[in-house]
Amino acid sequence: MHRNNSTRRKFLSDLSLTVGGSLLLPPLLSCGTKGTSVPATPGAKKLGVALVGLGGYSSGQLAPALQQTEDCALTGLVSGTPQKLADWSARYNIPPEACYNYQNFDSIRDNKDIDIVYVVLPISLHKEFTIRAAEAGKHVICEKPMALNAAECQQMIDACKSNNRLLSIGYRLHFEPFNKEAMRLGQQQVYGKIKTIQAENGFTWGGGNNSWRLKKSLAGGGGLMDMGVYAIQGARYTTGEEPVYVTAREEKTRPELFKEVDETVFFELEFGSGIKASCLSSYNKNVSRLRADAERGWFEISPAFYYEGQVGTTVDGPMRFDNRYFEQVAQMDDFAQCVRQNKRSRVSGEEGLKDMRVVDAIYRSLASGKREKIG
Ligand code: NAD
């Protein structure tokens, strides 16, 4: 679903002044946290992060990113598989007393070296582990999509609030240079008012028929939950506005595989100002694109939502940023700064809730066949 990041560390260690013989572009060219708006806190002890769920995203992206963060570090592990805990503990030098399973997870409250719990589990478990982490006194990052529906998101927000803990969602693209540029161009109306958005995200499913992503009870839905939230996010952060209505339509080419969940969903978001966003989420199309057409020009990122490899163009020519930027490093360091300063994250639980309100309305529209009000 995402490009494999196996070459990431090689890229980073290889990164010098040239790539393929040509000079890298100044000055936003930087990997890791350098060049971001998040300075490390000099002399301060790094905040400790425990990863809950040691699957693909934790092993491929988050654990490697936590080797490069300047303000936080991997200090705890949570898994249901003892062998995984043993392997990870040896690999990342995590003491056995900082390794937990899903049953004894709550005793994480006694571990002073863990400040932040990062929930990287199937979606149906996001709410439970976010609430348990907050009740154990830990700040929380929860992966996208935030939960099965908006009602669950609200419960997670409330639990973090009542325990006086910060909550953030794993929206890494808010820290990625090309997507940040789309936010600037759109929200500051650099090309005038935006008229239309196109936001599409999908891949062709090749993950067999046993994955939790195909089970409604665990995933809540299909491509819309997994890929569609990027399209919704893209439309929202490019316009800086909230959609009011949505009309959705579904297409299924492999009903035997996508028995319980959606394969491809087309949806049109209508914003109060008149902007329309044509969006797509899919487990059957390889696409990753964000485009805005405005009064005096346009801009487009394609691919837009991968871990790396973004290509951006505007009516004026190419966007020039580092497209091998390790956004998860910047994302986690930013949250560490939020915790230190007791400041709401720019990708707070409320952001996740807003997206899930849209997702809920899309599913209502698929069921009713009608345009539905969001929220
Ligand atoms: P994965 O299947 O690779 O890993 C999930 C982990 O959860 C596994 O280690 C599995 O053992 C564990 N698990 C615990 N209880 C389980 C259960 N009942 N059923 C199945 N697995 C169970 O998934 P992933 O790709 O790592 O995704 C995890 C979360 O991260 C999801 O919410 C996903 O949307 C999110 N994610 C985000 C990004 C991003 O770019 N922000 C990328 C990939 C995944």
Check: CB of residue 48 under 8 Å from CB of residue 115.
Answer: yes
pLDDT in tens, 235-287: 999 999 999 999 999 999 999 999 999 999 999 999 999 999 999 999 999 99
Residue 73, CB-side half-sphere exposure with 13 Å CA sphere: 11
Residue 19 and residue 259: Cα distance in Å, rounded? Answer: 45
Q: Which of 84, 103, 152, 212 to mutate for ligand 1's pocket (most ligand atoms within 8 Å of CB)?
A: 212
User: Which residues touch 59 (CB under 8 Å, ≥6 apart)?
Assistant: none
Please tell me the predicted confidence (pLDDT) of residue 162: 98
Q: Which of 1, 8, 62, 120 to mutate for ligand 1's pocket (most ligand atoms within 8 Å of CB)?
A: 120
- Tell me which residue has its CA closest to atom 16 in ligand 1: 122
Please tell me the predicted confidence (pLDDT) of residue 34: 34
- Tell me which residue has its CA closest to atom 35 in ligand 1: 143
How much distance in Å is there from the Cα of 56 to the middle of ligand 1? 7
Q: Measured from the CA of 307, which atom of ligand 1 is nearest?
A: 40
Residue 71 and residue 335: Cα distance in Å, rounded? Answer: 9
How much distance in Å is there from the Cα of 233 to the middle of ligand 1? 20
Residue 365, CB-side half-sphere exposure with 13 Å CA sphere: 24
Of 173, 182, 229, 181, the closest CA to residue 202 belongs to 229
Q: Is 103 exposed, middle or buried (0-12, 13-18, 19+ CB in 10 A)?
A: exposed
- Tell me which residue has its CA closest to atom 12 in ligand 1: 53
Degrees to nearest 5, angle at CA 374 with 371 and 375: 150
How much distance in Å is there from the Cα of 92 to the middle of ligand 1? 20
| pTM of the model as a whole | 0.91
Degrees to nearest 5, angle at CA 129 with 362 and 56: 75
- Tell me which residue has its CA closest to atom 42 in ligand 1: 57
How much distance in Å is there from the Cα of 193 to the middle of ligand 1? 38
Q: Measured from the CA of 81, which atom of ligand 1 is nearest?
A: 11
Residue 335, CB-side half-sphere exposure with 13 Å CA sphere: 33
Please tell me the predicted confidence (pLDDT) of residue 39: 54
Please tell me the predicted confidence (pLDDT) of residue 257: 98
Please tell me the predicted confidence (pLDDT) of residue 40: 72
Q: Measured from the CA of 59, which atom of ligand 1 is nearest?
A: 26
Check: CB of residue 273 under 8 Å from CB of residue 241.
Answer: yes
**Ligand 1 pocket, CB under 6 A:** 2, 53-58, 80, 120-123, 125, 143-144, 170, 172, 212, 218, 226
Of 257, 172, 246, the closest CA to residue 2 belongs to 172
Residues of the chain with pLDDT under 70: 1-39
